[in-house]
Amino acid sequence: MAVETSYVMVKPIFANEKWVIEEVKSRLKKAGLKIEECGFVHYDKKHARKHYAEHVKKDFYPPLEEYITSNKAYGMIVSGEDAIARIRQMVGSTSNPAKGTIRADIPAKMGIEVQTRENVVHASDSTESAEREIRLFRELLTIEAYKE
C-alpha cells in the first residue's frame, strides 16, 4: 500500500452541523488517516463545474450544482496508506449506502432521508480527482487553513 492524499468534503446542509464535521473527522482519524488541512469553503458555479467536471453534461448535474453552491461546505485534505479506497469505503455508496458508513449513519442520527445528490460527503475517487479537488479547495478557502 502506498501513502495517498485525498479530498473529503462535508456538503452543504451537513457542514452547518458542527457535530457532523467532528463525526467525519473522528472516523477518519480512528482509521489512522491524517487530516492535513481543513476549512470552510463556498463553491461558486465555476468551481463546482471544475470539481464535478466528469458530471457536468449528465442529467443529474444541474440540481447537484444548485446544492453544492447553496451554502458553505467543509473541505479536508486527508492522507494515509491507500487513503482514497479506504475513505471511499468509509463514506459508502451514493445511493443506498450500507449501515455503518458515513452516508448512512449521519442522516439516520439526524432522523432524515437524503436525496442521492444531497448526501453527506464527497470523497475523491482517484489520484487525479484528488489532485484537482485539492487544488480547487485551496483556491476556495475562506478561512485560514490549519494543520492538525
Active site residues: 122
Determine contact, residues 32/89, Cβ cutoff 8 Å: no
Task: Determine which helix (DSSP H) or strand (DSSP E) holds 43, and give its type and residue range.
Answer: none
As to burial, measured by CB atoms within 10 angstroms (0-12 exposed, 13-18 middle, 19+ buried), residue 5 is: middle
Long-range Cβ contacts of 21-30 (<8 Å, 24+ apart)? 21/74, 23/102, 23/106, 24/76, 24/102, 24/106, 24/120, 24/121, 25/76, 27/90, 27/102, 28/76, 28/78, 28/87, 28/90
